[in-house]
Amino acid sequence: MNIPLFEKLHSSGHLSDESLQKIKAADNNKLFSLHWELRTILYLGILLLSGGLGILIYKNIDTIGHQVILAFIASVCIGSFWYAHKKKPVYTNNKAVSPDSFFDYIVLLGCLTMVTFIGYLQFQYNVFGTKYGLATFIPMVLLFAAAYYFDHLGVLSMAITTLAAWAGFAVTPSTILQDNDFNSESILLTGFLLGILLVLAGFASAKKKIKAHFEFTYSNFGAHLLFICSLGAMFMYERAYAAYLLLLTGICFFFYKKALHDKSFYFLLILTLYFYIGLTYTIIRGLFEMSSDIGGIYLACFYFIFSAIALIIFLVKMNKKIKAS
């Protein structure tokens, strides 16, 4: 509320003393929004409900029976999707407005129970056999369809996570899964390709204006995958760490340009932290190669002190640059 404007009106005689006091009282006692607090509580409620049902079923599995459990999960899933289908707004490529306060949470509940139902079938009855990729591919397709059909960012995040799981199962030999040895070139390569695919999907969403608000979610997952795989390759292939540092630098430069274009301090922050990790690994490695005695430790301590100060100064200046642009 523009209080100085009302004070000018009061001083010019267009507003009485009583009216000015009422306006100031209304401004001082304005309502406080609980929007995000209530949304957080409702999301936690859905997660606690799903977790509580899982614990209840686990502790009473012998007395309840698998068929009853599956029927209950399927009923919750079908009921949630039926409610969401009835309430959903007409599909649009733009951001849709939720019809009521519970719509998003019911969609999330339906998707969680759907994934639980398929996972339960595989675990208990092994319906997909050893084709673990198929057990993740079907939920992935259904989650992507639900994300676009109901315009739900939370479900889109679940779909992308399931996509990553499916890609991992698809390229990973069963021996690696059995031995829990994930030090595999195929996993790193898959991570790189999936990260690029997600970034391109975000770019296409914004460019084609098909659910353009999904762009951040795609880019966010893609960025973390690319950064993590770059660092993983640096740590895994020690002889070629300099080449992967160069790759990490190129990825950071790409997201640096994107951060400036989108005025996103978030992307600037994560690229800075990931690059700092890669650069620190390289510098500390070089210091200990030059001096493996106590001198290397002293140099490393000095590096961490001054680099942390430089990192903070850089982030503060870049935040000001983004706000000024």
Question: Residue 176's pLDDT is what?
Answer: 46
> Structure pTM?
0.80
Cα–Cα distance between 245 and 150 in angstroms, integer? 41
Cβ atoms of 102 and 152 within 8 Å: the answer is no
Tokens linked to 266: 């978030």
pLDDT tens track, the chain, 325 positions: 566 766 776 677 766 777 767 766 666 666 556 566 666 777 777 677 777 776 776 676 667 777 888 888 899 899 999 999 999 988 899 998 888 778 888 998 899 899 988 888 887 788 887 777 788 899 999 999 999 999 999 999 999 999 988 887 665 555 444 555 545 677 888 889 999 999 999 999 999 999 999 999 999 999 999 999 999 899 888 888 889 999 999 999 999 999 999 999 999 999 999 999 999 999 988 888 777 667 778 888 889 999 999 999 999 999 888 888 7
Cα–Cα distance between 160 and 116 in angstroms, integer? 17
Tokens linked to 94: 């733009």
Cα–Cα distance between 98 and 110 in angstroms, integer? 16
Question: Residue 80's pLDDT is what?
Answer: 93
Question: Residue 247's pLDDT is what?
Answer: 95
Cα–Cα distance between 50 and 110 in angstroms, integer? 10
Residue by residue, DSSP assigns 79-107 as: HHHHHHHHHPPPP-SSPPPPSSTTHHHHH
Question: Residue 318's pLDDT is what?
Answer: 92
Question: Residue 241's pLDDT is what?
Answer: 86
How many other CB atoms are there within 10 angstroms of residue 121's CB atom? 16
Question: Residue 215's pLDDT is what?
Answer: 96
Cα–Cα distance between 188 and 227 in angstroms, integer? 11
Cβ atoms of 236 and 242 within 8 Å: the answer is no
Question: Residue 210's pLDDT is what?
Answer: 93
Cα–Cα distance between 156 and 248 in angstroms, integer? 27
